[in-house]
Amino acid sequence: MKYGKNKITYVFILMCSIGILLCQCLNVIPAEAREQSAYLPPHLIQSVTEQDVYEGMASLGMLECPILEEPDIGQAYENVWTCVVRLNMGNAYGSGLIWDLTPEAVIIVTNAHVLEYWQDSISFVHFPQGYYTDAEIMGISEQYDVGFLRVGNENFRYEELESLRHVCADEAVYDSLRQGDSMFCVGAGPAVGAVECYEGTVQETWRYIAEFENDMLYCYGFAKAGMSGGGVFDGCGHLIGMLSGGTSQNETASVPLPSLIAVYNEVTGS
């Protein structure tokens, strides 16, 4: 009888085990277990798309170019030159800056006088990573020498978008600029893929220049034709202006960062 009782116990346990396995295989969960499962945390392993990764990087600020804690123009240049693009417009070319990377598009800022040459049928953007894309004009300021282009994200794979970087535009940094502060200009060179960089110093953050009919960022430095629409950065890599013109006396005039921000807010209605 003792053996018989053990045998019945073994059979009962085996039947229970089989029942549990069947419930799991058939995805049948007892009511009590379902009530308990409602309080369990969600699964930690979930599928993530390249789009999710890109949008997550953008929301966390991981697509902004790195900024130094102390001025170092050489290192700052290495951090920001990939924010500068070349605008090809038939026989003419100019420069632009990756202003922002949104879930829908790459936003580029350049001079209004550069966009006077823009024609959708023959014009395109060359990114320093080697990408060529079409673009459309978002808006052009009537007051400042500023215009914005939009490149839809559908022109890229998401892993390509993850390789792009946009400028760091902090208006508080501009307000803290002083005469004699170091700066450097970055723009497209004559050859496709070439980048020009020249150092200089800030002289006045708001100086009225009649040729542009506006207050401009006035600096001592050098700039070449084709660099219009390029970036002017401080020694840490913050964007402080957009290059609009230069003289043979090593003077440069740039659209101040606050004016760029004002135009972008106007174009986007923000």
pLDDT of residue 80: 98
Residues 28 and 134 in one domain: no
Query: Is the C-alpha dihedral spanning 262, 58, 195, 192 positive or negative?
Result: negative
Residues 33, 19 contacting (CB under 8 angstroms): no
Residues 12 and 142 in one domain: no
Residues 100 and 21 in one domain: no
pLDDT of residue 270: 82
58 inside domain: no
49 inside domain: no
Query: Is the C-alpha dihedral spanning 70, 72, 73, 75 positive or negative?
Result: negative
Residues 104 and 158 in one domain: yes
Residues 23 and 77 in one domain: no
29 inside domain: yes
Residues 30 and 115 in one domain: no
Residues 32 and 77 in one domain: no
State the residue range of the domain holding 157. Answer: 66-270
What is the pTM assigned to this prediction? 0.82
CATH number at residue 247: 2.40.10.120
pLDDT of residue 189: 93
Residues 122 and 246 in one domain: yes
pLDDT in tens, 105-143: 999 999 999 999 999 999 999 999 999 999 999 999 999
Integer CA distances (angstroms), 191 to 86, 97, 129, 240, in order: 10, 18, 15, 26
48 inside domain: no
The secondary structure of 119-179 as a DSSP string is: -TTTEEEE-TTS-EE--EEEEE-SSSS-EEEEEEGGGS-HHHHTT--B----HHHHHT--T
Give CA 195 to chain center in angstroms.
19
127 inside domain: yes
26 inside domain: yes
pLDDT of residue 2: 37
pLDDT of residue 127: 97
Residues 213 and 167 in one domain: yes
Residues 246 and 189 in one domain: yes
pLDDT of residue 7: 37
Residues 128 and 245 in one domain: yes
59 inside domain: no
What is the spatial order of strands in the sheet that 136-140 belongs to?
A: 132-133, 123-126, 84-89, 92-101, 105-110, 147-152, 136-140
Cα separation, 270 vs 267, whole angstroms: 8
pLDDT of residue 20: 41
Going from the first residue of the chain to its last (270 residues), give the mean pLDDT of each consecutive group of 10, the final group possibly shorter: 38 38 44 54 70 91 95 98 96 96 96 96 95 96 97 96 97 97 96 94 98 97 95 98 95 98 95
Cα separation, 236 vs 184, whole angstroms: 10
Residue 253, SS3 per DSSP: strand
pLDDT of residue 23: 42
pLDDT of residue 48: 83
- Count of domains forming the chain: 2
54 inside domain: no
Residues 139 and 259 in one domain: yes
pLDDT in tens, 246-263: 999 999 999 999 999 999
